[in-house]
Structure 1
């Protein structure tokens, strides 16, 4: 997750700098940078998001399997 956040920030600041060099200043600069960087991140960071989602899914499945083992062990004790 830290990697994704860092990449999002880098995209935002790169967009901010490019728009600043083009001549956009003050409040519109921040608003347009946020919108443009969000759109770019959706496309560019899709693989990173999917990888993170797969990691979370694997952890959830692992915890569910452990919980099921505990339930089965409790049933055997009775």
Structure 2
């Protein structure tokens, strides 16, 4: 998650600097940088995002299995 966040911030910073060099300043610079970096992140960071989502799914499934095992053990008592 930290790696993904750092990559998103890096993309935002790069877009911000590129737009700043084109002469854009103020709120339009920030707004356009945010929108452009979000679009780029959706495409460029798809693999890290899916990997993180899989890790979360695995943890949730492990907890679900553990909870079911506890419920089954309680029912046997």
Same fold (TM over 0.5): yes
- Alignment root-mean-square deviation, CA: 0.5
Q: Distance in 2 between matches of 1:38 and 1:69?
A: 42
Structure 2 unaligned segments of length 5 or more: list them: none
Q: Distance in 2 between matches of 1:72 and 1:31?
A: 53
Q: Report deviation, 1:69.
A: 0.5
Structure 1 unaligned segments of length 5 or more: list them: none
Structure 1 runs (4+) deviating above 3 angstroms are: none
- TM-score of the two chains, using structure 1 as the length reference: 0.96
Map of 1:9 onto structure 2: 9
Q: Distance in 1 between matches of 2:44 and 2:24?
A: 24
| Matched positions, count | 77
